[in-house]
Copies of this chain bind each other. A is one copy, B any other.
Amino acid sequence: MNIKAANIEPIISPKSVAVIGASDNPTKVGHAIMQNYIDVDFQGKIYPINISAQEKIMGRKAYKSVAEVKEPIDLAVICVPAEFVPQVILECGKAKVKGVVVVSSGFAEVGNQKLQDKLEEAAKRYKLPVIGPNCLGIMDPRSKNDTLFLPTYKIERPKIGGVSFVSQSGSVGSSILDLISAEGFGLARFISYGNAAVVDEVDILNYLSHDKETRVVVFYIEGVKRGKEFAELAKKATMLKPVVILKGGTTPSGATAAHSHTASLAGSTEAYKALFRQFGFITAETLEDLLYFAKIFDTQPLTTGNRIGIITNGGGHGVLATDALYNSGLAIPELGKETQKYLRKVMPPIVNVRLPLDIGGDAGADRFSAALEALNNDSNVDAIMAITLFQTPGADEKVAETIINQGIKRTKPLVVVSTGSSYTLSHTKLIESSGVPVYESPDIAARALSALIGYSKYRKREV
């Protein structure tokens, strides 16, 4: 069934949460989920629920069922053993709970389709939006709704931002969530949806494509249940915002693995890739791509032009960037006459005034600033790749500041390449938090630019 975006909202940012299966026993998932709500400082009301509850659970007034709670419940997080889940869902429906996350596993993913069907029927009877089963659920940094049973010391929680990350797989979801926390960009919504018995890819993509907090949607999927609806929706969604997808199970062996993992029917690699292109999806080939692509789409303007201006303070990196852009189907243009004239005037004579623009290993902030400005003003250049190697004698915090300032002024996409360890990272963190994506190698930066330009063309219907 189609579930309206408005009906998913209470699951994402609820004002009150019932944890069904809450427990004082620290080895129980229900304990971890309760503890997590307390740790992340959830601002709404929390109702611990356990059929064998005494007066209190974890110091809070406990209830034997949702029926006992006489206040409105936006979200029920269910973590009781699988066999009891359908009954608990019926109780939630009766008690007018607005939405449910089923964390429990033991359904279609282990061959128990019957039990999953019962879950689905129960949800349908009350038109209850249910996420899961067999999932991690939701993390929403704004409302601090956080159904994860994985403690914050194991997974760092990302800051607030514009990227929404959706994962069919809990393991991919939690590890990417952990990686995002170390990145310069922030999270809008995290949704791990597991077996998709009720709320599925179609419902989630529909919700996020209209969600005003979400600038970029990033998806890990293993299979799509309602292919036709997904396709129709995708075409609309990708005209509203970029949607990056990594598809697991695209090979014959991978597909078999995917089936036993989330009970999805996976298609062939080529079929999916062709479809994805048609839908306007940005196809990620690897886990890392999800992050690489998310950050360029989150921060950079769209451009259909493919002429990239490389600025570098390292010759070898300039060569590798040129190779990488060429291999990604992007072009390295001639600089405009005016630009050449200007650069000849301001650069030392050793600088060869053409692309890749190697401004020398001794280049400091002045040269970077002049080069960035010149390329930003040159109509032959559509986007800029600035390679700033902080190992060189001239590169210091002033170079980072220059990039940050130019980043604010720029009208064209700008990406930075910096390869290195702690001294380098101390500067690239600043650059990233100013909204300019930094990549560790020219190859990655070239692929990110290529994704940006490809999607821009799709949006303008140029492909």
Assuming the A-B contacts A420-B179, A443-B286, are A171 and B316 also in contact, with contact meaning beta carbons closer than 8 angstroms in the complex? yes
A192 → chain B, closest Cβ, in Å? 10
Q: Name the B residues within 8 Å of A316 (CB-CB).
A: 167-173, 220, 222, 248, 261
Chain B: CB-nearest residue to A175 = B419
Inter-subunit contact A325/B253 (CB<8 Å): yes
A172 to B424, CA, bound (A): 14
Q: Which of B29, B352, B442 contacts A260 (CB 8 A)?
A: B352
Q: Is A36 an interface residue (CB 8 A)?
A: no
Inter-subunit contact A420/B175 (CB<8 Å): yes
Q: Name the B residues within 8 Å of A358 (CB-CB).
A: 260-261
A428 → chain B, closest Cβ, in Å? 12
Inter-subunit contact A251/B419 (CB<8 Å): no
Inter-subunit contact B361/A170 (CB<8 Å): yes
Q: Name the B residues within 8 Å of A258 (CB-CB).
A: 319
Inter-subunit contact B391/A175 (CB<8 Å): yes
Q: Is A379 an interface residue (CB 8 A)?
A: no
Residues of A within 8 A of B (CB): 29, 32, 106, 109-110, 149-150, 153-156, 167-176, 178-179, 181-182, 220, 222, 248-254, 256-258, 260-262, 285-288, 312-320, 322-327, 332, 350, 352, 356, 358, 361, 389-393, 419-424, 440-444
7 A-B pairs whose Cβ atoms sit less than 8 Å apart in the complex? A149-B393, A150-B391, A170-B316, A171-B313, A178-B419, A257-B322, A261-B316
Known: A171-B316, A222-B316, A251-B327. 20 other contacts (CB 8 A): A154-B392, A155-B420, A156-B421, A169-B314, A169-B316, A171-B317, A171-B361, A171-B392, A175-B419, A178-B424, A179-B419, A179-B421, A182-B422, A222-B319, A250-B323, A251-B322, A253-B323, A254-B320, A286-B444, A288-B443
